[in-house]
Structure 1
Amino acid sequence: MTAFLVSLVAVFGFAAGIYGTGIVGAAQRAIAQANTGLSAMLDSGLSDDEKEAAVRKAGIALIVGSGAIAWRLVACLAAAALPIYLAEFAGLSPAAAVFDLMLRLDYIIGVSVALIVLVWLFKRKDPDKPQTGYGSGDRFLHMLAFSGPGIQKFAIRLEDMFLGRKIKGVADQPPVLVTSLARGGTTAVLNALHDLPGMVTHTYRDMPFATAPLLWSRLSAPLKREVARQKRAHGDGLSIDLDSPEAFDEIFWMLYWPGKYKSDRIPLWTPQDAKAEAAGVFRRMFRKMAVLRGGGHGRYLSKNNANIARLQLLPEMFPDCGIVVLLRNPAAHAASLLRQHENFLTLQAEDDFVRRYMRDIGHLEFGQLHRPIGFDGFDPGAYDPRTPDYWLAYWIAAFVQVQAHVAQCHILAQDDLRQTPDATMQALCKGLQIETGEVDFASYFRDTPDVTDRDAFDPALLAQADKLYAALAQYAVGPQHSDKAS
């Protein structure tokens, strides 16, 4: 019995050493340094000199980190051995007896299980804390998949070669394209439409090879990937898992129109930007999603904020497509854009993989990656992006563009979704010729008023935005607008 008690003290000493020396953090930093060097090697956006410098810096840091781990490990072992030899010195229990006990299989299993339970009890993850869900292996696979555009295009060709037969006989159906500026409510609409019969789209399970969903679903099946439902990094309270819908079609736009993604802005697309090859790839992708998620039937559903830059081109590329544009109160929308910009500035500074992930999937709205869409009349240099007026001016320019193409869009007012969600969504689905079944649309949308501090904005700019909002609201779908402009 004495040997057992001494062994528990030794285990406690080892655990205390781990906690006190911070060896776990040192190991995590060493892994992060290794990932940084690997990420630089696989980053097509860096020059050879930049890659070499980054790898050299990471190598030096890794060597220093290895030394830090080594002395901490020695300290942990010493903390475990000290009580054992003190007990022997005091005549309580021979050290050999304690070591023999601690090397027994039943002892190792029992103590390990007890420690796991204790750690779980005292260090459970906060369910309200955003989690990335991307471990080291996932990050490596992502970096490999996005190390250059050739990898994603090769995946498309490989899938078409070996699995192209799967989409033969699948009918083309017009896609439903949900867009707006970010923070407009597009994710809630995506979730609501995705749960209707006959709608198909990408999910997080398709990453990182979203360009080859059929092929990747087969290759990744043995991995049995599972990620617990967790909060999005956006801090908006929405939870996601691997099976949550998230259209990744911006990856395709970046592959076939790389020249559009300039360092300071993203110009608008026009009908002259149409590319037959890209249109064919998109149409095949729509049918692949129908096979993967709809048993061979289904309309592709896209939630892509950047499509607001393509209102001229989309009807040319996809005749009869349904373009849904979310319209949110401009003051509340601009304030939310500013908050999200500041949120991602922090996230990307704390973890460079967040920046890289967002860049790879084309989410260039916020943080270090922010590249405004080149709407007519918007001057990015006129305001500081960390001020409300920058985002309000951006909102005005964006929705002037929407107003010019309103006849080709289904305008969906967020205020209507908050006040009369079922009637509004039923009207939208009728216009899109989507069967709704018996879905409860109210469960997808907040019912609280969308208000913000209007005093934070320039009064003249806000008046201009309010006037534009009122004009566009006349076109919004829903029974409350049925007697107005259409």
Structure 2
Amino acid sequence: MYSETLWKDPEYIAYFLAILVSVITVELLLTIKWSTLLARLLKGVKLTLIALFDDSLQDEQKEIALRKAAFAMLSVSFKTLFLFLAIIGVFYLDSPLKALALSNTSHHSVSTDLSWTILLLIKSMVAMVYWLIRIKLIKTSNKATAVLKAQSDQSYSVISKALHDLALDSPLIARMSLELEKKRYLNKDQLLSTSSTSQKPIWVCGLARAGTTILTDVLYETGLFTSLTYRQMPFPLAPNVWKKLSRWGISGIEQKVERAHGDGILVSINSPEALEEVFWRVYESHVYQQTESLSVHQSSPESLLAFEEYLSCILQLEDQSSLPAKRYLSKNNNHLIRLPSLLGHFPLAKILVPLREPLEHAESLRRQHQKWVERHQEDPFSLSYMNWLSHHEFGLGHKPFSFAQDSAHTQGEISSESTDPHSLTYWLIRWIEAYSYVESVLAEPRYQSQILIVEYDALSSEPSKVLSNIFSYLDLAIEQKEVLALAERFKVVPKRAERKSVDPSLLNKAEGLYRRLSE
């Protein structure tokens, strides 16, 4: 009887409607694809910046670009306004019913006004509490989903993809981000080429699949280095600026998951990654990025100075007042094509070049290339991502290194397999070209003390011994207990390649080069 009485009470009905409308409003807010709207907005911002600041555009091209940008921004703005008005309409949908309910009461006008205020407060409080509960449930669900997506390497949301496109697709915007970074964080008194030996940089470079990633990871785990990590994406040229923005709730997967290569190496948002090549794409792509290859080149003094300033900004990610000051560490396989420039400008730098047995290395490259071709066909964003980072080692965006001595291996001496990335011969030729160039650089006495060849097989079979030698070469004081712990990361990789699958003379040439570099 009491419940029947309540349902006949107009004020009770008004309160019930207020709660119901609050819940419906929140659900409508959650169903709208705000990420898509934000992605379109970011696209408009990108088009606007390019139209306003790209000096390579003609006036007519700028006008067209500005029109496109304006249309994109207005389209998003009007759609957002319409959605907000619709939501407000839903929020006050119960107002006529409340007015009718309250008009039938015997309360005087002051009481009626008070009831309206109470109902509005109830609606606002219910909406807020329900919103917080739903957001918490969504975040809990998203964390589990994010880990699963990261494990399948499909962890980029619509907004994340749009943000990557904004930050990395246009060299103009990427350069603007670096200028902003330098304006705020550059300390010209701490440039690497003139700093103390305690801050001499270390680079790990070589052909992919030679152990460059795991070696970089192990060095980073010592805690003695500053490196760019996945946390700096998608603004690797403005790491400190992005670090500030990241405090506003922008984050990534902390849990380690296997990377897309499927090689057992686990990564997280805090793992070091080869991101600094974005700088060279922005500053010197016209010099070394050809249509089908990446060419060996001499970097300009202006680019090298800008690069040095960039590295000095990266060092600001850590508290450099602590002792000992952390040194810069990076993996960048593309440094193979600019070794003399890098070593000449940074006389205190040390470069580790992993060296893997040529046939096994070539087979690993071939299999990885096939895997990435399939991946890029299924996921176009992954191809764009690799192109933005200038990671052209594998897949549909593959561009081999081009050295001066290439013609001796490709003009008639080798079969058509020499130009087919799906063949083992192709990758064996790439191996010979790359490490022949390393050998030629090592022939220069002035560079010999700056480059250390790290044997992949020895690192896998005797990791503690090789790591101790590396730490000694880098002037790092690492306790033996820590060396042994780090050595557990390395495992012996089973042999997979067959000698009969390649030309014997080509293999002999590669193995001879391997022996010389191993001595």
Query: How far apart are the structure 2 equivalents of 1:40 and 1:245?
Result: 31
Say if 1:338 and 1:387, in contact at 8 Å, map to a contact too: no
Q: 1:368 to 1:147 in 2, by over 3 A?
A: farther
Question: Of residues 115, 127, 139 in structure 2, which corresponds to 1:108?
Answer: 127
Give the match for residue 222 of structure 2.
196
Query: How far apart are the structure 1 equivalents of 2:243 and 2:134?
Result: 38
Question: Of residues 486, 490, 494 in structure 2, which corresponds to 1:441?
Answer: 486
Tell me the amino acid that sits aligned with residue 441 of structure 1.
Answer: L
Give the match for residue 205 of structure 2.
179
Query: How far apart are the structure 2 equivalents of 1:67 and 1:221?
Result: 28
Query: How far apart are the structure 2 equivalents of 1:319 and 1:53?
Result: 48
Q: TM-score, normalised by structure 2?
A: 0.66
Offset at residue 290 of structure 1 (A): 5.1
What whole-Å deviation, never above 9, does each CA across 1:24-76 have from its counterpart, x for those lacking one? 3xx54444344334434445699567777777678778888877997999799
Q: Which has the larger radius of gyration?
A: 2
What whole-Å deviation, never above 9, does each CA across 1:365-400 have from its counterpart, x for those lacking one? 345543332132466996354666554543443234
Say if 1:13 and 1:76, in contact at 8 Å, map to a contact too: no
Question: Of residues 41, 46, 50 in structure 2, which corresponds to 1:39?
Answer: 46
Tell me whether 105-114 or 175-184 shows the greater mean CA deviation: 105-114
Query: How far apart are the structure 2 equivalents of 1:219 and 1:18?
Result: 29
1:394 matches 2:430: yes
Query: How far apart are the structure 2 equivalents of 1:209 and 1:218?
Result: 9
Tell me the amino acid that sits aligned with residue 273 of structure 2.
Answer: E
Offset at residue 128 of structure 1 (A): 3.5
Give the match for residue 129 of structure 1.
149
Offset at residue 305 of structure 1 (A): 0.9
Say if 1:194 and 1:245, in contact at 8 Å, map to a contact too: yes
Query: How far apart are the structure 2 equivalents of 1:112 and 1:156?
Result: 37
Query: How far apart are the structure 1 equivalents of 2:316 and 2:182?
Result: 18
Q: Secondary structure at the match of 1:147?
A: helix
C-alpha RMSD over aligned residues: 5.1
Give the match for residue 93 of structure 1.
none
Q: 1:136 to 1:367 in 2, by over 3 A?
A: closer
Question: Of residues 179, 187, 208 in structure 2, which corresponds to 1:163?
Answer: 187
Q: Secondary structure at the match of 1:177?
A: strand
Say if 1:41 and 1:51, in contact at 8 Å, map to a contact too: no
Q: Secondary structure at the match of 1:301?
A: strand
1:250 matches 2:308: no
Tell me the amino acid that sits aligned with residue 321 of structure 1.
Answer: A
Say if 1:23 and 1:72, in contact at 8 Å, map to a contact too: no
Say if 1:179 and 1:303, in contact at 8 Å, map to a contact too: yes
Q: TM-score, normalised by structure 1?
A: 0.69
Give the match for residue 147 of structure 1.
172
Tell me whether 200-209 or 426-435 shows the greater mean CA deviation: 200-209
1:416 matches 2:435: no
Q: 1:126 to 1:467 in 2, by over 3 A?
A: farther
Q: 1:128 to 1:444 in 2, by over 3 A?
A: farther
Give the match for residue 337 of structure 1.
369
Give the match for residue 383 of structure 1.
419
1:309 matches 2:309: no
Question: Of residues 235, 252, 269 in structure 2, which corresponds to 1:227?
Answer: 252
Say if 2:366 and 2:422, in contact at 8 Å, map to a contact too: no
Q: Secondary structure at the match of 2:452?
A: strand
Say if 1:184 and 1:333, in contact at 8 Å, map to a contact too: no
Offset at residue 306 of structure 1 (A): 0.1
What whole-Å deviation, never above 9, does each CA across 1:249-294 have from its counterpart, x for those lacking one? 324434553422233322112xxx2544444444555555556534
Tell me whether 2-11 or 277-286 shows the greater mean CA deviation: 2-11
Offset at residue 165 of structure 1 (A): 4.0
Say if 2:370 and 2:395, in contact at 8 Å, map to a contact too: no
Number of residue pairs matched by the alignment: 450
Question: Of residues 271, 276, 289 in structure 2, which corresponds to 1:261?
Answer: 289
Q: 1:76 to 1:415 in 2, by over 3 A?
A: farther
Taking the TM superposition and a 5 Å limit, the aligned residue runs for 1:309-388 are: 309-319=337-347, 321-328=349-356, 329=360, 330-347=362-379, 349-350=380-381, 355=384, 358-367=386-395, 369-375=397-403, 376-377=406-407, 383-385=419-421
Query: How far apart are the structure 2 equivalents of 1:283 and 1:16?
Result: 51
Identity of aligned residues (%): 21
Q: 1:5 to 1:367 in 2, by over 3 A?
A: farther
Q: 1:204 to 1:391 in 2, by over 3 A?
A: same
Say if 2:460 and 2:492, in contact at 8 Å, map to a contact too: yes
Offset at residue 441 of structure 1 (A): 1.6
Q: 1:344 to 1:426 in 2, by over 3 A?
A: farther
Query: How far apart are the structure 2 equivalents of 1:451 and 1:62?
Result: 56
Q: 1:424 to 1:165 in 2, by over 3 A?
A: closer
Offset at residue 129 of structure 1 (A): 1.9
